Amino acid sequence: MSDLALRVQGLSKSYVLGAPPPATMLREQLALWARRALGRAPAPNTTDFWALRDVSFDVRRGEIVSLIGRNGAGKSTLLKILSRIVEPTHGRAEIYGRIGSLLEVGTGFHPELSGRENVYLNAAILGMRRTEIARRFDEIVAFAEIDRFIDVPVKRYSSGMYVRLAFAIAAHVDPEILILDEVLAVGDAAFQRKCLGKIGSVARDGRTVVFVSHDMNAVTTLSQRALRLADGRLVDAGPVHEVVGRYLATLTADTPRGTRVLTVPDVSSAPVAVTSARTLGAGSEATDVVARSSAVLVTLDGEVRRAPRDDEEYFVALDVHGADDARLFRTHNVEQRWFAAVPREPGPFRLSCTIPAELLIPGRYRLGLIVGIAGRQHVQEVYPLLELDVVQDRLVADVWPNHVGVVTPRCEWKLLA
């Protein structure tokens, strides 16, 4: 088969979990060796965690294939193996062509160096020759739209400029097989469109793209074929619309509705946590179907398990995702216009969040939960948390139904003249 780009056969990757923990102290390791040598060490109680299990597939030249699945399904591990960053435990992958992978935007950027210097450095890290970089330099700068700032250290760049430059370099490396991980999740909408266009044109040139995304919109517009991973196994493969459709259906089947009691992470990792969540419509009973004319009330019961330090502030946030799994927006308990702060004393608390009426168009929505320490870290993340349907009211139909777009905020119109 001469049009093969990638052949993956029985690829597996295991990590060792449990005792002994990865010894970070030489002393512990030496002591362990000594005890083992004396025959006194208990058999190490290790459990293997299979991040990837017996995955096989082929990718033809010029194909754009997307990898989908939930967090922890093994997508990133697979990309890391194909990029040769980690080694598989079993199996093999044959790659027919020069491979370029972009698992992160701006790998190896040095803040002190100028944009120009970083182009050379980053391109070299991605495997480009100096002569090649010099030849494509102007193209890269033009694509990134930062020509005026090319000699300024990148530590003075805005995050948008930084990301644009980084993507521009990666997009001009021109490998025969391109591996992308979630890189489209950055940058503003206009730049994202430009990146999508670039990826599409890469494939039209006969090159192959394998990419991971949580944005089902990008997945379906870009790729013809999708592979779905779950718990490290390849569970579905085929035309993108079919695979995505089945994936969204499993999300629906697995997502609780109405009420949910959560398993809470350990206190050491989560000093604050949400223990249960409910969605309510017009009534006081938990429900998973809400009329468009009524607000969606989400109540969250939680517990402060360790008081925050003086410079810490706990927060709770909700994500609202549409049926295609794209996130519509995130809302925090503490924002500019309201201040429902999590109490600072240990003990239970209850928060509620009202998603305004007539904002969501009829359809299926999934909520995600994020609990964390503001500006520091997330201590609890649950997605999908709850699923609900917003339905058209049977009695009060919109006079002028407007379901173009994804949300319908109340915008005020006036006739001024």
Partner 1 sequence: MTPYTVIAPTRRLALPDVRALWRFRELLYFLVWRDIKVRYKQTAFGAAWAVFQPLLQMLVFTLVFGMFARLPSDGYPYAAFVYTGLVPWTYFATAAAAASTSVVTDQALLTKVWFPRLVLPLASVVRPAVDFAVSAVAAVALLLWYGIAPTWQLLLVPAWLALAAATALATGLWLSALHVRFRDVQHVIPLLLQVWLFASPVAYPLSLVPQRWRGLYALNPAAQVVEGMRAALLGKSDPILASLPACVLLVALALLGGALFFRAIERTFADVV
Binding interface with partner 1 (CB under 8 A): 1-2, 4, 7, 15, 22-27, 29, 80-99, 101, 103-104, 107-108, 110, 112-113, 117, 120-121, 124-127, 129-130, 153
What's the CA gap between 374 and 228, in Å, rounded?
A: 34
Q: How far is the CB of 259 from partner 1 (least distance, A)?
A: 40
Instruction: State the minimum distance, in angstroms, from the CB of residue 153 to partner 1.
Output: 8
**Three-class SS of the chain:** CCCEEEEEEEEEEEEEEECCCCCCCHHHHHHHHHHHHCCCCCCCCEEEEEEEEEEEEEEECCCEEEEECCCCCCHHHHHHHHCCCCCCCEEEEEECCCEEEECCCCCCCCCCCEHHHHHHHHHHHCCCCHHHHHHHHHHHHHHHCCHHHCCCEHHHCCHHHHHHHHHHHHHCCCCCEEEEECHHHCCCHHHHHHHHHHHHHHHHCCCEEEEECCCHHHHHHHCCEEEEEECCEEEEEEEHHHHHHHHHHHHHHHCCECEEECCCCCCCCCCEEEEEEEEECCCCCECCEEECCCCEEEEEEEEECCCCCCCCCEEEEEEEECCCCCEEEEEECECCCCECCCCCCCEEEEEEEEECCCCECCEEEEEEEEEEECCCEEEEEEEEEEEEEEECCCCCCCCCCCCCCCECCCCCCCCCC
Q: Measured from the CB atom, is 154 or 388 closer to partner 1?
A: 154
- By C-beta, is 101 or 287 nearer to partner 1? 101
206 vs 348, which CB is nearer to partner 1?
A: 206
Considering the complex, state which of residue 93 and residue 219 has its C-beta at the smaller distance from partner 1.
93
Q: Are 345 and 304 in contact (CB under 8 A)?
A: yes
The nearest distance, CB 140 to partner 1, in angstroms, is 16
Provide the minimum distance between the beta carbon of 298 and partner 1 in the complex, in angstroms, as a whole number. Answer: 37
Spatial separation of the C-alpha atoms in residues 261 and 355, rounded to whole Å: 21
198 token code pair: 């670039």
- In this complex, which beta carbon is closest to partner 1, that of residue 134 or of residue 396? 134
**Closest approach of partner 1 to the CB of residue 53, in Å:** 15
Smallest gap from Cβ 87 to partner 1, in A, equals 4
Q: Which is nearer to partner 1, 130 or 378 (CB)?
A: 130
Q: What is the rounded CA–CA span in Å between residue 52 and residue 77? A: 7
In whole angstroms, the minimum distance from the beta carbon of 12 to partner 1 comes to 10
Nearest to partner 1 of 124, 359 (CB atom)? 124
C-beta closer to partner 1: residue 134 or 267: 134
Provide, rounded to whole angstroms, the least separation between the CB of residue 335 and partner 1: 33
Least distance in angstroms from the C-beta of 230 to partner 1: 22
Q: Which is nearer to partner 1, 80 or 164 (CB)?
A: 80
